[in-house]
Amino acid sequence: MMKNKYILLLFFALSVSTIHAQNSENSDDEAARTWSDKTGKFKVKAKLLSNAEGKIKLLKEDGLVITVPIDRLSEADQKFLNEKDNPFSGGEPLKNDMTEMDRKTEKGETAASASLSKDANVLELPSDGKELFVDSVDEAGILPADPLPYELKPVEFVRSLEKTDAYCRTSFPMLANPKEPSFLVSIHRVGNAASQESFGKIFLVNKAETQPNAVLDIDQSIALLDHHIESGRTLAALGVDSPSSRGGDLVLFDKMVSGAPKLIARWHCPGWDKRGFKPKYEFARLLSESKALVRVDNMIYLWDLVQGKLIFKIKPKYSGGKIQVSCNGRYLVIPDRKTCMFIGLQEGKVLGTIPSNGKLVPEIHFSPDGKQIAMVAGNEFSVWDFTKGASRASVNLGHPNGKFVGWMGNNRLLTQLNGLIDVDLRISLWGYSLPSNNQSLTMSTHVATIQRSTRLTTLICIPIPHAPAKTAIEKLVANNSGFLVVTPDSNVALEINAPNSIDKPEIRKKLEEAIDETGWTLKPSADVIVKIDIEQGERQKMFFRSSGFMFGAAEEVTMRPFKVQTQIQKNGKTIWERPRENMIPGVIFLKRGQKLREVLKTYEKGNPSYFDRFNLPPRIVRPDIADKLGKSYISDNVWKELTR
């Protein structure tokens, strides 16, 4: 049977190409010269192959062909091209008799016909095959650890990538070499950008190089999905439809970190041609040089991207949970409100569940030692040691955690709002404000994060805890015998002060439930008092306009929302407080026959449902110590402390 021969048309920009110049009849006719870009930072010695459609093709001394837009060349090079009677003008793009993909196909190494050209003939990955069902399973019991296969050696550094604007999108920093360390970061512009310059780039960034290296530069949007350190393979989405981040083909590269990436495979994902919203890559992880676990919308697939085979697929019961894979790719965990389900990726079977908090679907991350999984949701966090089949901690911090960034070592967690959390002490040690896009990677003692401004995209590798926080935390830990004034086993009294119009018995019932959930014991004579003061706030004038088929006239309403002041006092001194005001929603839905004023009255009364999710801190640090525990944010690429 004759084998198909495929043509790779790779539109790589400066310094990148995966096609070796073979059988080029004219390459020796042109003497090599040194070319440079407008900035003068980049130079290359190469022979001119062709000059057409505003671009030139150059043959470098290492045998690689690059395509460079003429407007990016120096004035001297542009003048050289204008004055030269170029025999290569109007030439056809360079083609090979046999591409790298042909050779792999001939050896039976791949079934994928792929190129980076926009009109490439690309096949769709299979979606029919073995399915793992995740309905009802037993507890997981004791499972082996799955630690990181390498040692992290993070260092502090800052590297600017390139100018940015509103059309710019970036990936997470992905660890390329844990010893330097170095990172891969993709930057691409959305399809309606006014300028197509630098449309899709992948940078290699480290401390050793003062300038980041653009290891890939193409004329399509490309978003990094994962990098497999051991094999050197890189997974990305080509042609993502930003800003929706939907669509795009899965592309697998080899030797991306070397600066000479080779395309191994390209595939359409299932549903790529459906109308309306294109499929979205919610999660992707390379497990080996060929196997990739990819979540496309609400379906999880394990594919062999080299052979183009489906190994198995899973449909989670709950679509909102963010899945996670263990450090060395042994386990997949799917979170739900009540449980987190472990799936053995090597065995291809469900291993069992561990308990979750039962209220919200948690965000999850594995510890670097591969023994623990942390679950963060709302005000709570819990840690399960699956090598012992037992809980290590389950804590309500009394304050929202926000996004769960990851582990800092094996004993601390980093969250968006509660900052650095100590699992053993069960308290927040220091607040750290990271970029809201949450494009951050935790690495034991440092965090790598993408900082974007109106002018520049920057990768920052920065320590946590930094020097001032480290000093304060060391003093706290040294005094751990008495730094808490309230603990989960404390006795507390409850005092409610409210107008007669408030339904105090119902509110007391809600607050007693909150106190019991915190772990405290109600005792009228306790020296710790939970004090609730409810009063009506300032009179407000509000305007509501009815909507429907026709907008009606605005209706003016005057009302006084209620305020709640919560204080925790010990021996008459306030050790914790939180003021709140009942907020009036911007949209109010009226039932048939209801009047607007009647509905708004419920917001003046102190509705007991307000206390349904009333959270109290089970642990309170001594005020003199708490004053030394602060919060920091990134300014000028370093940590700055917030003033109180």
Q: How far is CA 541 from CA 536, 555, 559, 561, 590, in A?
A: 14, 10, 7, 11, 20
d(CA 573, CA 97): 84
**Predicted local distance difference test score (pLDDT) of residue 95:** 40
Is pLDDT at 24 greater than 60 in this prediction? Answer: no
d(CA 250, CA 266): 6
**Predicted local distance difference test score (pLDDT) of residue 189:** 75
Residue 400, φ and ψ in degrees, nearest 5: -65, 140
Element (H, E) at 448: strand 446-452
**Predicted local distance difference test score (pLDDT) of residue 584:** 67
The residue-averaged pLDDT of 20-40 equals 60
Q: What is the pLDDT of residues 197-209, one digit of tens each?
A: 557 899 999 998 8
Is pLDDT at 233 greater than 90 in this prediction? Answer: yes
d(CA 533, CA 380): 26
Q: How far is CA 203 from CA 206, 226, 382, 519, in A?
A: 10, 14, 36, 50
Q: What is the pLDDT of residues 312-371, one digit of tens each?
A: 999 988 777 899 999 999 999 999 988 999 999 999 999 999 998 767 899 999 999 999
Residue 103: which residues within 8 A CB-CB, separation 6 or more? none
Least confident residue range of 287-301, 392-406, 580-594: 580-594
**Predicted local distance difference test score (pLDDT) of residue 194:** 52
CATH for the 131-478 domain, from 3.20.20.150, 3.20.20.210, 2.130.10.10, 2.10.109.10: 2.130.10.10
The residue-averaged pLDDT of 37-55 equals 81
Domain spanning 27-98, CATH class: mainly beta
Element (H, E) at 117: none
Alpha helices in 462-589 (DSSP H): 467-478, 504-518
Cα torsion 96, 98, 103, 105: sign: positive
Least confident residue range of 431-440, 478-487, 506-515, 572-581: 478-487
Domain 485-621: assigned CATH number: 3.40.50
Coil, helix or strand at residue 247: coil
d(CA 234, CA 255): 8
Q: What is the pLDDT of residues 159-211, one digit of tens each?
A: 998 877 777 888 999 999 998 899 999 988 765 555 555 578 999 999 988 88
Q: Map out the domains of the chain as residue ranges.
A: 27-98, 131-478, 485-621
Least confident residue range of 27-36, 59-68, 304-313, 524-533: 27-36
Confidence of residue 100 (pLDDT cuts 50, 70, 90): very low
Q: What is the pLDDT of residues 422-456, one digit of tens each?
A: 998 888 999 999 887 768 999 999 999 998 876 78
Is pLDDT at 479 greater than 90 in this prediction? Answer: no
d(CA 435, CA 432): 10
Least confident residue range of 380-389, 391-400, 408-417, 588-597: 588-597
Fold agreement between 131-478 and 485-621: no
d(CA 338, CA 128): 30
Give me the percent of the chain exceeding a pLDDT of 90. Answer: 41
What is the 8-class DSSP label of residue 104? Answer: H
Is pLDDT at 98 greater than 80 in this prediction? Answer: no
